[in-house]
Structure 1
Amino acid sequence: MLMLQVSRCINFDFRHTMIHGAPGTLLGFASGARPGLPFRRCPWLLGVRKALCSQPASTYRRCPPSSRELLHLGLKQAAPCLIHPSYRTFSQGPKNPTPGYTLRTRLVVTLLFGGGILATWWYVYAEKQQKMQVQRMEQLKKVALGHGCFSLLDHTGQRRTKADFLGRWVLMYFGFTHCPDICPDELEKLTNVVKALDEEAGLPSVQPLFITVDPERDDVAAMARYVKDFHPRLVGLTGTPEEVREASQDYRVYYSKGPKDEDNDYIVDHTILIYLINPDGLFLDYYNRTVSDTQMLQSIRNHMKAYMKMSPK
């Protein structure tokens, strides 16, 4: 019945357009044509025409069929040509799956997978660094450097030992007050580093120490006059030749007094190093003349961050 009704409507439209001279198509009428008449008898064709004429020509799969093509092709074959691609039925479903949903799903899975790998790597790295730090501390305990307990007089005349500085970071330098240039330069570098560390929040303070290698001239009074030109926390240490020799040998510091001139003045040749001691009293690092203030500061900062207090055994 439906095909018969379509055939009658199409034949009527064809006859009507042939009589009035208009092109016999359902999708477009030339100017002067009267399209209303066939649609009065077949009102459902009016909805088809409106749906077709309201869409741009570029959206159709091909040129719209004529009345005769509709008659020969049949409604079942011609209907898909008349329907806009976006007007699909629920049974047909979407033409293509929504790409946004698939992209979001893949992105979430990738992020979760990558985050898991990153977290695992960070955990393994932290465990490895902690294990290496423990091994380094054990090795430092076995190093024959700074294991002794020196006993010297400070620039105020008080007796000081190594135990007095446990629990604090220490920068230690061996020199003498009559040094013309090297010792003042190294103590100035040490002072700049200590001041820079004091300005950084979250970092512990550092105790600077200056131990003389010329006990014959560097008594308590001479040390007091000398240390006031540098950092206010700088402690000068002196003692008898035997006490100074013992402290120097403990840190493997070499020193030798040179010949005297006509003014009884002499130069002391000695090791030029600044030692870094951690709060446990263990030697961690040393810095020679080639190390700049910035490099020394960065090294000490790294040691402080990596420091892990050793449990007593």
Structure 2
Amino acid sequence: MNRCAMTLAFKNPAVSVLRALGVALLPACLLLTACGGPGAATVDYPLAGAKIGGPFTLIDKSGKTVRWSDFDGHYRIVYFGYTFCPDACPTDVAVAMRGLDIYAKTHGAQADALRPIFISIDPARDTPQVVGQFAAAFSPRLIGLTGTPQQVDAAAKAFAAYYARGKDSADGGYLMDHSRSAFLMAPNGDPITMLPVDRGPQAVADDLAKWIK
């Protein structure tokens, strides 16, 4: 699990990461899930049959309701994090988006049809506007979503994503513990693989080329 450093106000930590991706990448903490029994997917995906993904109802930057079913027919990248994290989340998301840009150079149509999604696990601070600013700092492709605590919790449980609020500091801030997995999901919503954001943008691009057909 990762403990992200506390930030008292949204200062767009994405910008510094985007300017200095030459720094060593933090290792991803991967949350393993149980696989399904009879009737599980037979496609030879690394996560075939894993219980990852499911219905959710969240809110985008404009306050519009967004459902998991809205992405039916599209490959998707799904990452759970929070905007006040100045290290792990910006690094992971920046690598994923740079990998998508590399992939797009040779697979433009497929990249345009893919939907990268960032879901906040800190709805108390991550308003629709804040999540929208965070997503836009990385890519116009990235869709930032938040919601009520109940909506966020339901989405996290559907994707077996761990998160927990840390203790309040003396100045009222707090950290969030959370798993760090960038899931690639199939057009029918099944999990395909966890993208290797810990190995850099080219590794992400290579995996997208391998699994998106």
Task: Output the CA distance in 2 between the equivalents of 1:256 and 1:269.
Answer: 5
Q: Residues 232-257 of structure 1, C-alpha deviation per residue, up to 9 Å, x if partnerless?
A: 01111111111101100111111111
- For these two proteins, the number of residue pairs brought into alignment is 171
The answer on whether the counterparts of 1:272 and 1:288 sit within 8 Å (CA) in structure 2 is no
Matched, 1:232 2:140: yes
Counterpart of 1:152? 58
Matched, 1:260 2:154: no
The answer on whether the counterparts of 2:78 and 2:117 sit within 8 Å (CA) in structure 1 is yes
Amino acid at match of 1:210: F
The answer on whether the counterparts of 1:272 and 1:289 sit within 8 Å (CA) in structure 2 is no
Aligned-residue offset at 1:156: 1.5
Aligned-residue offset at 1:142: 4.3
Amino acid at match of 1:143: A
Aligned-residue offset at 1:135: 2.5
The answer on whether the counterparts of 2:117 and 2:144 sit within 8 Å (CA) in structure 1 is yes
Amino acid at match of 2:154: E
Counterpart of 2:67? 161
Amino acid at match of 1:159: T
Counterpart of 1:212? 120
SS in 2 for 1:290: helix
Counterpart of 2:37? none
The answer on whether the counterparts of 2:46 and 2:193 sit within 8 Å (CA) in structure 1 is no
Matched, 1:189 2:95: yes
Matched, 1:281 2:186: no
SS in 2 for 1:156: coil
Q: Which has the higher strand share?
A: 2
Counterpart of 1:292? 200
The answer on whether the counterparts of 1:210 and 1:236 sit within 8 Å (CA) in structure 2 is yes
SS in 2 for 1:228: helix
The answer on whether the counterparts of 1:197 and 1:203 sit within 8 Å (CA) in structure 2 is no
Counterpart of 2:105? 199
Task: Output the CA distance in 1 between the equivalents of 2:61 and 2:167.
Answer: 27
Aligned-residue offset at 1:225: 2.0
Q: Which has the larger radius of gyration?
A: 1
Percent identity, aligned pairs only, is: 29
**1:61-100 alignment to 2 at 5 Å?**
none
- Structure 2 unaligned regions, length at least 5: 1-40
Aligned-residue offset at 1:260: 1.2
Amino acid at match of 2:60: D
Task: Output the CA distance in 2 between the equivalents of 1:155 and 1:185.
Answer: 21
Aligned-residue offset at 1:290: 2.8
Task: Output the CA distance in 2 between the equivalents of 1:207 and 1:170.
Answer: 5
Counterpart of 1:61? none
The answer on whether the counterparts of 1:176 and 1:183 sit within 8 Å (CA) in structure 2 is yes
- Quick one: structure 1 residues 175 and 202, their matched pair in 2 at CA, closer, same or farther if it must change by over 3 Å? closer
Counterpart of 1:135? 42
Task: Output the CA distance in 2 between the equivalents of 1:189 and 1:195.
Answer: 10
Task: Output the CA distance in 1 between the equivalents of 2:152 and 2:196.
Answer: 21
The answer on whether the counterparts of 2:51 and 2:160 sit within 8 Å (CA) in structure 1 is no
- Structure 1 unaligned regions, length at least 5: 1-133, 306-313
Q: Which has the higher helix share?
A: 1
Task: Output the CA distance in 1 between the equivalents of 2:46 and 2:115.
Answer: 24
Aligned-residue offset at 1:201: 3.9
SS in 2 for 1:152: strand
SS in 2 for 1:218: coil
Counterpart of 2:26? none
SS in 2 for 1:280: coil
Aligned-residue offset at 1:141: 7.0
TM-score of the superposition, structure 1-length normalised? 0.51
SS in 1 for 2:198: coil
Counterpart of 2:23? none
